[in-house]
């Protein structure tokens, strides 16, 4: 029988919300387009939040991803795994409790992750 998932302590929940807020603020500062945050707590074991945003170009997507990775390490002490940086059409940043998808607009429209992960809820920004 698999072990029950660990419950987050209040301090753990606070650190998740701090990380989530840091990510949203960083994306806003970098002028991300159409940022959406989808709550996953209680719906998926992969993370508590999924953040999806677009950049206007591959250069902007790559820049946002690199800055976000640095801020997460510096301010939260976490090492975020990043995939897709060389092409920067779709960059995945796995910060543990928050997963971030950064896209160029055409690629985002093609994959439409918001629809796949919305669970019938309206995504909140």
User: Tell me, what's the pLDDT at 44?
Assistant: 84
Q: Domains in the chain and their CATH numbers?
A: 32-117 (3.30.460.10)
What totals of helices (H) and strands (E) does the chain contain, helices first? 4, 5
d(CA 57, CA 4): 42
Please, are residues 93 and 99 in contact by the beta-carbon 8 Å criterion?
Answer: yes
pLDDT tens-digit map of 1-18: 433 333 343 456 679 999
Kindly state the tokens that stand for 95. 């910060």
User: Tell me, what's the pLDDT at 120?
Assistant: 53
The mean per-residue pLDDT over the stretch 26-53 comes to: 94
Range with lowest mean pLDDT among 24-28, 35-39, 118-122: 118-122
Q: Would you give the DSSP letter of residue 40? A: -
Q: Would you give the DSSP letter of residue 41? A: T
Q: What percent of the chain is predicted at pLDDT more than 90?
A: 72
User: Tell me, what's the pLDDT at 119?
Assistant: 56
The mean per-residue pLDDT over the stretch 49-65 comes to: 97
User: Tell me, what's the pLDDT at 118?
Assistant: 67
Strand ranges of the sheet holding 90-94, from the earlier edge strand across to the other edge:
33-39, 49-54, 98-103, 90-94, 81-83
Please, are residues 99 and 92 in contact by the beta-carbon 8 Å criterion?
Answer: yes
């Amino acid at each position: 029988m698999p072990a029950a998932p660990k419950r987050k302590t209040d301090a753990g929940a606070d650190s998740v919300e701090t990380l989530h807020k840091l990510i949203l603020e960083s994306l806003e500062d970098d002028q991300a387009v159409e940022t959406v945050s989808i709550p996953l707590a209680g719906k998926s074991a992969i993370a508590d939040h999924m953040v999806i945003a677009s950049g206007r170009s591959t250069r902007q997507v790559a820049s946002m991803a690199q800055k976000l990775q640095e801020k997460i390490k510096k301010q939260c002490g976490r090492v975020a795994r990043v995939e897709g940086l060389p092409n920067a059409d779709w960059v995945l940043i796995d910060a543990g409790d928050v997963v971030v998808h950064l896209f160029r607009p055409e690629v985002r429209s093609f994959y439409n992750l918001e629809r796949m992960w919305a669970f019938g809820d309206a995504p909140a920004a």
